[in-house]
Amino acid sequence: MGRPSSFVTAILLFACGGLVCGRQPKHLGTIYHDVRRSLLSDSHGQTPEAEEPLPELPAGYIYPVLAWGPNNQVAGLKEALVLGQLLKRTVIVHDILNHYDDKASLNHLTEQPDSMDFELIFNLSRLSRHRSVVTQAELRARGEWDGRLQAVAHFGDMFMSQIKNAHALNVSDEGAVYLDLEALDCTPRELAKLARTLKPYKYVGFILYENVVRSSGHGVKLTPSGNLCHDDYLRLSAQLTKSETLVRLATEFRREKGLGAAAAGGGGVDADDDGSREDGGGDDVGDGDQDVPGNNNDVDYDYDSSADDDDDGESNEDGEGESKSPSQGERYLAVHIRPYPDTCLYAWRREEYDMDLAARVCKNKKLHKVFVPQTLHAIKTYKLSTRVFVMSYPDLRPRISEMYGKKGLEAVFYDESDLEKAVGFKSISLLGMVEEEISFEADVFIGTSYSSMTGIIMQVRGSSTALERVARGKPRSKTLTFTKTT
Ligand SMILES: *[C@@H]1O[C@H](CO)[C@@H](O)[C@H](O)[C@H]1NC(C)=O
Ligand SMILES: *[C@@H]1O[C@H](CO)[C@@H](O)[C@H](O)[C@H]1NC(C)=O
């Protein structure tokens, strides 16, 4: 079939990196078909889903004990869902706790909840057709579980205090056995051992964050690696999609603003990107460097493939020179601007941006300097609308608008009042969930590499090359982070 030999080499390398490479040499054609099958059919969430929600599993339940902000919690939840799959246990899904900012602004006159209902954020119907899950509310309503964990599994002592988040959701660890798992490499042997350890306990809490899948919160590798947990995590990114409500809000917003293929409707994992190819020759923003932040925030985004791996020379459907999506909305850029850490906001709020001050309070002090030129560069390179969808802190919006405005760009924001109208309460955390959905669909996305919100957006956009399509299959060259920010 005249494939260039580099193509075959790529397949072989890939196969050996995955699980396909056995001890016996296999015929090339067989390997090729194994790889294709594992990549294109059931590997990354592209399986036809079950007709019915999957049944609960006899081995018992996993209760995810999740930490910190909403997106950190979502990353941990995804890790718990991976464990559920590999340990053959049903995962008890539950509310996501709000960001602490929400608590500060809690208005006791409006009945603002301090957590977000699972089904308000996620499409339970889809998830339950791919994974064995049950909501905490349903399990409790059936009267089968008194809310007590029989065991709490954790990885070292670092995140132990996070058990408080289970308490906040009315789950108790009273009398529970604590099991320190130390670390998990996710080999079949280790998983089998873990399944045996957990066997006596029907309800097991798992305190976890980046223990099951490396860098799950801040920059997981976006291509399959052969590690069971990691690869299942990628697959899951296509299965844990936003709820009807959030997708509808995001779609209405995009339609109203004329951004992207809004009229295509809220399909979650959209069909219109099917078969999209790695974009030929797209530049990264700036010079393609990525930030390498401090040790506790290892970033490992895998988008910077200098050559287009696996590119088979077919052109993509992203249409050079077109500025309209199929439904006539403009092709658009979404950015996430996240001064890090929170102390850095202080520098951004001041009238003049003081680099010396920023050096003291920010880890990404140069973000302020680079975000406008890099935005302009991306708009020019990819021929995008000059109206940019922006995610940032609400009180930085005027500053960002002003800075973009000076260069002829218009910052477009999702309004909290629109959300309040739709759901009946204010919530910065829920606002973030709608903003994410708008960013998942953007033609190009540029995030901030420290952020778990950016991390989750990158995971859901996923990646696509000639051979594989992970999650929503956006070309890797169109999912970026701001560079030279430190
Ligand atoms: C919390 O758990 C207790 C004990 O299991 C139960 O009686 C109570 O109804 C629960 N409260 C809520 C708000 O779910
Ligand atoms: C939710 O999931 C169901 C089952 O996969 C699907 O039919 C429906 O379109 C999804 N809704 C959204 C908004 O993605």
Q: Whose CA is nearest to atom 7 of ligand 2?
A: 126
Q: How close is the Cα of 140 to the center of ligand 1, in Å?
A: 9
Task: Say how many C-beta atoms besides its own lie within 10 A of residue 124's C-beta.
Answer: 18
Separation CA 198–CA 88 (nearest Å): 11
Task: Establish whether domains 61-236 and 244-481 are of one fold.
Answer: yes
The pLDDT mean for the chain works out to: 80
The answer to whether the CB of 60 falls within 8 A of the CB of 198 is yes
Q: How close is the Cα of 115 to the center of ligand 1, in Å?
A: 16
Give the pocket of ligand 1 (CB within 6 Å).
146-147, 170
DSSP characters over 112-169: --SEE-HHHHB-HHHHTTTS-EEEHHHHHHTT---SB-SEEEESSSTTGGGHHHHHHT
The answer to whether the CB of 166 falls within 8 A of the CB of 63 is yes
Angle in degrees, CA 17, 20, 21, rounded to 5:
70
Q: How confident is the model at residue 370 (pLDDT cuts 50, 70, 90)?
A: very high
**Tens digit of pLDDT for each residue in 278-301?**
333 333 333 333 333 333 333 333
Q: Which atom of ligand 2 is nearest to the CA of 241?
A: 14
pTM: 0.80
Separation CA 176–CA 423 (nearest Å): 38
Q: Which pLDDT value is given to residue 34?
A: 45
CA 307 → CA 284, 303, 404, 462, 465, distances in Å? 12, 11, 32, 18, 11
61-236 under CATH 3.30.420, yes or no: no
Q: Which pLDDT value is given to residue 51?
A: 93
Q: How confident is the model at residue 222 (pLDDT cuts 50, 70, 90)?
A: confident
Top CATH class of 244-481 equals: alpha beta
Mutate to test the pocket of ligand 1, among 136, 142, 144, 170 (most ligand atoms within 8 A of CB): 170
As a whole number, mean pLDDT of residues 72-80 equals 97
Q: What percent of the chain has pLDDT over 70?
A: 74
Burial of residue 315, with CB atoms counted within 10 A of its CB: 0-12 exposed, 13-18 middle, 19 or more buried: exposed
Q: Whose CA is nearest to atom 13 of ligand 2?
A: 244
Q: Which pLDDT value is given to residue 110?
A: 54
Q: Whose CA is nearest to atom 5 of ligand 1?
A: 146
Q: Which pLDDT value is given to residue 426?
A: 85
So where are the chain's domains?
A: 5-40, 61-236, 244-481
Q: Which pLDDT value is given to residue 328?
A: 65
Residue 385 corresponds to which tokens in the numbers above? 């609308």
Q: How close is the Cα of 147 to the center of ligand 1, in Å?
A: 8
Q: What percent of the chain has pLDDT over 90?
A: 64
Q: Whose CA is nearest to atom 7 of ligand 1?
A: 146
As a whole number, mean pLDDT of residues 443-470 equals 90
- pLDDT of residue 223 exceeding 90, the answer is no
